[in-house]
Amino acid sequence: MTPLSPEEFLLIAQQHCAARGARLTELRQQVLGLVLARGGVVKAYQVLTDLQAARGPAAPPTVYRALDFLVEQGLLHRVDALNGYIACQHLECQHHGLLLVCETCNDVTEIDATDSLDQLSAAAARAGFQPRRQDVLLTGLCQSCRQPS
């Protein structure tokens, strides 16, 4: 799957939110645009710094509320292990993602791993554990960074 350009992503995000009865306000759209502009895993304080540069004073709760909304709408993934966010490249499907993060270049590849993660959830349930929905993160080296120079 070819990644969407930021412009394409924002257009699809507007349609996605409208179809779900949610409002992608100007601020939420701007925060999403800032995440897309940085690419890879983006931390909330980076978004706050960029938002302040673009709009002037902005408080951290403003950014966190916008990021929470974007995660709820399936536009971003919260990457707990890295304390950051990435854009979801599979907007039109319900899935559990496997996020492959390169430790060298920070490139992120998202893979639909619903079947495998459903099996893990079922195994956890058999053990009496109720996991929350979460994407799984693997770190390592992407193909480009593994190539000898």
Q: How far apart are CA 94 and CA 96, in angstroms?
A: 7
Check if the beta carbon of residue 84 is closer than 8 Å to that of residue 42. Answer: yes
17 marked as binding residue: no
Helix (H, G, I), strand (E, B) or coil at 87: strand
The dihedrals phi and psi of 11, each to the nearest 5 degrees, come to -65, -45
Query: Which H helix or E strand runs over 32?
Result: helix 26-38
Q: Which residue has the tokens 């993160």?
A: 137
- Residue 102 annotated in ligand binding: yes
Confirm whether residue 90 is marked as ligand binding: no
**b/e string for 114-127 if b means 16 or more Cβ within 10 A?**
eeebeeebeeeeee
Q: Which amino acid is at 86?
A: I
Does the annotation list 145 as a binding residue?
Answer: yes
Q: Is 95 one of the annotated binding-site residues?
A: no
Tell me the binding residues.
Answer: 96, 102, 105, 142, 145
Tell me the binding residues for Zn(2+).
Answer: 102, 105, 142, 145
Tell me the binding residues for Fe cation.
Answer: 96
